[in-house]
Amino acid sequence: MDARPIGMFDSGVGGLTVLHECLVTLPHEDFVYFGDSHPDRFPYGPKPAGVIARFAHEVAAHLAALDVKLIVVACNAATASALPGLQREFAVPLIGVITPEAHAAVQATRTRRVGVMATEATVASGRYPQAVHLLDAGIEVAQVACPLLVPLIQSGDVHGEELHDAARAYAAELKDADVDTVILGCTHYPLIRPMLQRIFGRGVTLITSAEEIAREAADTVARRGVSNEPGREGTYRFMCTGDPGAFREVAGRFLQLPLTEVERVDPAALAVAA
């Protein structure tokens, strides 16, 4: 039995889709979610790798000081730029996105043609094809960078025509590549999953970061023997470096659960403590 909470972070609210899946999969665990949402820091995606690594280090240090038993890096940019460094620096175990979805896609594909929808930075990093090929060198991976999706999803109109058109255009490239499995390689994308499933059709398996990392977190906690008491109802709380009101306003749609306490953490104090 291990009553310590699980920590999780992202530069904004996207990681809340991961938290949602973790809260469903591990209802008896406590969670602390850190959104690094200050305008000087959010979003990580377009920033240089060195800057992302510094921000991620500061946030991970803050979570580690709260005595979490596991840190989930619920952000593609931070996973790609910072995860190995964080794992070497910190005693607390860290897991990230990318490898869990790659693993699930390898298991799911029947035609061994896998598509990836992700932000430009994630596509450019080549981490998804690399992770897929480590498990099955014979799988063809088609990637499409989807720069319009995050701003459109973030803006709120997830059923709008503009988002639909953009999603259809990106999906067309993967349909041309005749994939039977598509990795939704960004924590924002679960919000348009129903739309994407309709565009691709039922014959295509969609794999999300959120579901796969929830499975990975659950396996990790179980195998390590650090589960909290089964049957209890876990708690979750939030901290962010930006304005808590603004965070709260957007967060509900991503979390799909009632929002609790949102504490503001001063980014200057974060940098000093790390």
Q: Which of 65, 124, 135, 273 binds its own copies (CB under 8 A)?
A: 135
Using CB under 8 A as the binding criterion, the count of chain residues that bind its own copies stands at 36
| Nearer Cβ to its own copies (89/249) | 89
| Per CB under 8 A, 201 contacts its own copies | no
Q: By C-beta, is 140 or 243 nearer to its own copies?
A: 140
Q: How many CB atoms lie within 10 A of CB 222?
A: 11
Of 77 and 146, the one with the shorter C-beta distance to its own copies is 77
Binding mask 252-271 for its own copies (x = CB under 8 A): --------------------
The answer to the question of residue 51 lying near its own copies (CB under 8 A) is no
209 binds its own copies (CB under 8 A): no
Q: Segment near its own copies (CB under 8 A), from 39-47, 79-87, 156-164, 188-196?
A: 79-87
Does position 4 interact with its own copies (CB under 8 A)? The reply is no
Q: Which of 237, 186, 223, 227 is closest to 79 using CA atoms?
A: 186
The residue among 140, 131, 226, 248 whose CA lies nearest residue 185 is 131
Whose tokens are 């999603």? That residue is 167
Residue closer to its own copies by CB (options 159, 224) is: 224
**Minimum distance between the CB of residue 133 and its own copies, rounded to whole angstroms?**
8
Give residues 84-113 in contact with its own copies (rule: CB under 8 A).
84-91, 93-95, 99, 103-104, 107-110, 112
Q: Which one of 50-58, 113-121, 127-135, 243-251 is the stretch in contact with its own copies (CB under 8 A)?
A: 127-135
> Which sequence positions are flagged as catalytic?
75, 186
Q: What residues make contact with its own copies under the rule CB under 8 A?
A: 83-91, 93-95, 99, 103-104, 107-110, 112, 131, 133-139, 205, 216, 219-220, 223-226
